[in-house]
Amino acid sequence: MADALDTVFAALADPTRRAILSMLLEDDMAVTDVAEPFDMSLAAISKHLGILTRAGLITQEQRGRVKWCRLDPGALRAASVWMQGFGQFEPVHLDAFERFLAEQLGPAAQERPAPPE
């Protein structure tokens, strides 16, 4: 369990990866759409996505020619349960987590284009 938590917290330590998680709170996204708002190469974004995938925070699947990313909150739940063991933390609810990310990321999180309907 400690190794899994280490991996989750290491993944959450990076602001780019937290921003990606915030984006995926809304809906599944193609890797190219995830990369769009960042000033880095697609290869760099792919490395971030690999870290998030290994941490269990997202899943990636191939749909036709496009690779899609989806938030998988299971690893966040495990981290939340661990933190609750200290008795000082409230349970992490995804709605509250989304609000926290929006506050931390500010306008950048709100400027993301709406997913196609």
Write down the H helix ranges in 14-73: 15-24, 31-35, 42-54
> Is this structure's pTM higher than 0.75?
no
Beta-ladder partners of 60: 69
Give the tens place of pLDDT for each residue, 42-84.
Answer: 999 999 999 999 999 999 999 999 999 999 988 888 888 887 7
Give pLDDT tens digits for 74-85: 888 888 888 777
Contact between 91 and 82 under an 8 Å Cβ cutoff? The reply is: no
- Tokens (6 digits) for 6: 């280490």
